[in-house]
A and B are shown apart, each in its own frame.
Chain A
């Protein structure tokens, strides 16, 4: 494939790089959200267990 200046380029690495970045951002942020929520819950549960003793 040629770009607008007539230079030959292989587009596949660009496409996969984009999706790799998308995967990293979207799934990475989602994982971070789940982890953050779990940590808050575990902290609250720890407080509750301590409180009930």
Chain B
């Protein structure tokens, strides 16, 4: 239980912010560790009646004002919806697959976004291994979360697309299996991060797994040429140019660009929040020493 509820001095000093409300806010934030909550219980003892130990809140104001990724994300979500409208109503129907092919405008951009997240994870993992910095690990965590979202979306939309075209929801095809492996590794990264306490060991373990995740991306990409698969071969980035209709290709490339930018904004927006949460926690605990 948060200690603020048991602290009459806080109730007196906090004005319209009642302890119950503060408790609810702190608990609902969901970002504070049990350790911090326990500490707050101690802070609210008679020796520390105010939460006055937190210093340098101005520096946090600067960080809180860095809302560029979030604002960009809003713009990109609007653009993404416009691209979907074009995909539904403007591009011509495919002669072979009919309306079902329109799933490509969601499936392929989502796959590229998942690969881009793995690219960011690769850079962040290398930097985390080199510098042992927690900041890079938070970038890894953000890119893993976003990568997992887009990988699951890729698998789900591919499965839905496969049913009317292939006649099956799933097959252990090389492309599908390696992508499924990617989603498992993304999930495993998050489990590993949660299982190890903060420190060099967590940074090293998560970074090594991050490198392994990034290594899976070229295998996924080349799987359709290395093995005989049910999945269609490369359509856009192939020697001799794309075989798609120019109108179809334009909307697809726009979708890839918008989805890639959206994933980057999601990653950096999430990283900002993670760093803010971590700093809040560290400074709060540091103030007790």
- The residues of A with any CB-CB pair to B shorter than 8 Å are 1, 3-5, 7, 9-12, 14-15, 17-19, 21-22, 25-27, 29-30, 33-34, 36-37, 39-44, 46-51, 53
Give the residues in chain A near B10, CB-CB below 8 Å.
50
* Contact (Cβ within 8 A) A50 B51: yes
- The residues of B with any CB-CB pair to A shorter than 8 Å are 10, 13-15, 17, 21-22, 25-26, 28-32, 50-52, 54, 57, 60, 64, 67, 70, 73, 77, 80, 84, 88, 97-100, 102-103, 106-107, 110, 146, 149-150, 152-153, 156-157, 160-161, 163-167, 262, 266, 269-270, 272-273, 276-277, 280
Which A-chain residue is minimally distant from B87 (CB atoms)? Answer: A19
- Minimal beta-carbon separation of B71 from chain A (angstroms): 11
- Minimal beta-carbon separation of A11 from chain B (angstroms): 3
Give the residues in chain B near A42, CB-CB below 8 Å.
25
Q: Which of B26, B60, B160, B269 has the most CB of A within 10 A?
A: B160
* Contact (Cβ within 8 A) B25 A51: no
- Minimal beta-carbon separation of A41 from chain B (angstroms): 6
Q: What is the CA–CA distance of A22 and B29 in the complex, to the nearest angstrom?
A: 27
* Contact (Cβ within 8 A) B50 A51: yes
Given contacts A33-B273, A49-B15, A50-B51, whether A39 and B164 have CB atoms under 8 Å apart is no
* Contact (Cβ within 8 A) B50 A11: no
* Contact (Cβ within 8 A) B163 A50: no
Given contacts A33-B270, A51-B57, whether A46 and B22 have CB atoms under 8 Å apart is yes
Interface secondary structure of A, over-half rule: helix
Q: What is the CA–CA distance of A18 and B64 in the complex, to the nearest angstrom?
A: 36
Interface secondary structure of B, over-half rule: helix
Give the residues in chain B near A40, CB-CB below 8 Å.
29, 31, 273, 276-277, 280
Q: What is the CA–CA distance of A46 and B276 in the complex, to the nearest angstrom?
A: 15
* Contact (Cβ within 8 A) B103 A26: no
* Contact (Cβ within 8 A) A43 B165: no
6 residue pairs of the A-B complex, CB under 8 angstroms, read A5-B167, A15-B100, A26-B80, A40-B276, A43-B280, A49-B17
For A14, give its contact among B32, B153, B163, B280 (CB under 8 Å).
Answer: B163
* Contact (Cβ within 8 A) A53 B57: no
Give the residues in chain B near A43, CB-CB below 8 Å.
25-26, 29, 31-32, 280
Given contacts A25-B153, A39-B28, A44-B64, whether A14 and B14 have CB atoms under 8 Å apart is no
For B273, give its contact among A17, A18, A37 (CB under 8 Å).
Answer: A37
For B161, give its contact among A10, A14, A50 (CB under 8 Å).
Answer: A14
* Contact (Cβ within 8 A) B73 A33: yes
Give the residues in chain B near A49, CB-CB below 8 Å.
14-15, 17
Q: What is the CA–CA distance of A21 and B17 in the complex, to the nearest angstrom?
A: 40
* Contact (Cβ within 8 A) B277 A11: no
* Contact (Cβ within 8 A) B266 A17: no
Given contacts A30-B77, A34-B70, A50-B14, whether A18 and B164 have CB atoms under 8 Å apart is no
